[in-house]
Amino acid sequence: MKRILIIAIAAILAASCCQNGSHASWTYDSVVYEMNVRQYTEEGTFAAAAKQLPRLKELGVDVVWLMPIHEIGVLGRKGSLGSYYAIKDYKSVNPEFGTVEDFDAFVKAAHKLGLKVILDCVANHTSPDCAWVTEQPADWYMRDSLGNTVVEYDWTDIAKLNYENEDMRNAVRDAMRYWLDRGIDGFRCDMAYIVPQDFWTETISGFRSEYKRGLYFLAEGEQTWLHDAGFDATYAWRCHHLLNDIAQGKAGVQDIKDYVAEDAAEYPADAFRLMFTSNHDENSWSGSEIERMGKAARLMAVLTFTLPQSQPLIYTAQEIGYDHRLAFFEKDPVPCWCQSDETNFYQTLTALRHSHPALRSGEKGGEYEVLDDQWVPDDVFAFTRTCAKEKLMVLANFSEKYTEVALPDAEKWADAISGEIFNDELNCPVLTPWGYRILVRK
């Protein structure tokens, strides 16, 4: 019989799924959901969004990340409603969304369902009409030679903060504490990689000591020092762009093998890497995952749930297959929340993640091994995730043709979704174009 040669990267990912970890226990198998409150319902309010929380619970979501909820500046505003990321007052609630009491009710409803809630923390800048600009010392902000606040990139609706000022740092921490005291479970930190490392180190360490309920911190950024600073998770941007390239025929199996090996070598074994096929930036500016990835979109989502160290993200309306670029500065609500085949697809993925310890994030996830020999078709990416209690095999077809993969002899496998049994090379799993199999060793 044909036997697949297993090439292990065990030395790189030398963590057991039975180890004690450094993160809050609830984070290891969690699925993050990014909620765009403005577009989430016709009303665009916390009260209306709260009514959708049972649906998210049923979907299998664990963490609800709310895009910035604060009052938006008027000076330099883009569009009629402005960018969520041009914040006028860190302790305010955007009147579009309701009141602070409505927010509290949303958090309470989420917690009652067992969901965690994190807020977007925009620590790099405020709107140019934030009260700090005129009420605080000039050196709370970066300023040019004429004393004007500094704009970064093409963000003409913001003013960059100056982290040389300790009072300003403390004001940002105070604003974060305000929301932690209202019961949230952590933060997604916008542009975290351009905020000084020592700010994050002191802030995250301090909050973890102050709040014993177990907090979660997600950094927008891919720099490894963000993990040194205390973040649980960082964006896997490189992975995201590679998945786009694979779907578009610009990259292939060897590219993702190289990526996984390089990522494992670069990041700590306990790092969570946020993986996604869409988020608010990608959806609004580059297009939906369906627009970018076409028929390969589901396969790429499967990889975000199964690759080593992955923590998967679902963005607003992905779970209904909504192929639309949501407007960023205007009202553009999701038309309905009708259950679809895409809903069932994501429910299946979240259930698999929750029920298989080998798919956990960080150092508690299963050891990764790539299957790599002549019996694996050139267009198939095949790998296993193994921990003490189980072994999973993922087969991903990076082509538009049907193909099959011979399995190791003397091993019996079951399709984790369909239950179909495979036990030798005469009963090989068939992969549809851009198809996949997730197998469990019996």
The rounded distance, in Å, linking the Cα atoms of 31 and 311 is: 7
The rounded distance, in Å, linking the Cα atoms of 273 and 46 is: 29
User: What CATH number corresponds to the domain at position 283?
Assistant: 3.20.20.80
Question: How confident is the model at residue 1, as a pLDDT?
Answer: 36
User: What CATH number corresponds to the domain at position 408?
Assistant: 2.60.40.1180
Question: How confident is the model at residue 13, as a pLDDT?
Answer: 39
The rounded distance, in Å, linking the Cα atoms of 9 and 367 is: 8
262 and 169 in one domain?
yes
Domain that holds residue 433: 369-441
**Which of 364, 389, 408 is a domain's end point?**
364
Question: Does residue 434 lie in a domain region?
Answer: yes
* Structure tokens that stand for 245 in this block: 């390239």
Question: How confident is the model at residue 357, as a pLDDT?
Answer: 96
Question: Does residue 2 lie in a domain region?
Answer: no
Q: How far does Cα 96 stand from its chain's mean position? A: 26
394 and 349 in one domain?
no
CA-based nearest residue to 47, from 91, 86, 96: 96
Coil, strand or helix: which one is 66?
strand
Question: Does residue 184 lie in a domain region?
Answer: yes
61 and 134 in one domain?
yes
268 and 403 in one domain?
no
**Which of 364, 394, 422 is a domain's end point?**
364
The rounded distance, in Å, linking the Cα atoms of 368 and 363 is: 11
393 and 357 in one domain?
no
* Structure tokens that stand for 106 in this block: 């949303």
CB proximity list for 120: less than 8 A, separation 6 or greater: 65, 66, 67, 68, 69, 84, 85, 187, 188, 189, 190
Question: Does residue 151 lie in a domain region?
Answer: yes
Question: Does residue 177 lie in a domain region?
Answer: yes
253 and 167 in one domain?
yes
Question: Does residue 339 lie in a domain region?
Answer: yes
43 and 106 in one domain?
yes
Instruction: Report how many domains make up the chain.
Output: 2
| CB 116 within 8 Å of CB 35 | no
242 and 381 in one domain?
no
* pTM exceeds 0.85: yes
The rounded distance, in Å, linking the Cα atoms of 69 and 341 is: 31
Question: Does residue 224 lie in a domain region?
Answer: yes
Q: Which amino acid is at 229?
A: A
**Which of 322, 342, 364 is a domain's end point?**
364
Q: What is the pLDDT along the chain (442 residues), one digit of tens a residue?
A: 333 333 333 333 333 332 334 799 999 999 999 999 999 999 999 999 999 999 999 999 999 999 999 999 999 999 999 999 999 999 999 999 999 999 999 999 999 999 999 999 999 999 999 999 999 999 999 999 999 999 999 999 999 999 999 999 999 999 999 999 999 999 999 999 999 999 999 999 999 999 999 999 999 999 999 999 999 999 999 999 999 999 999 999 999 999 999 999 999 999 999 999 999 999 999 999 999 999 999 999 999 999 999 999 999 999 999 999 999 999 999 999 999 999 999 999 999 999 999 999 999 999 999 998 777 999 999 999 999 989 999 999 999 999 999 887 678 899 999 999 998 666 889 999 999 999 999 8
Question: Does residue 5 lie in a domain region?
Answer: no
The rounded distance, in Å, linking the Cα atoms of 252 and 431 is: 16
* 367-371, strands of its sheet edge to edge: 6-8, 367-371, 380-387, 390-397, 436-441, 413-415, 421-422
319 and 354 in one domain?
yes
247 and 105 in one domain?
yes
Coil, strand or helix: which one is 392?
strand
427 and 393 in one domain?
yes
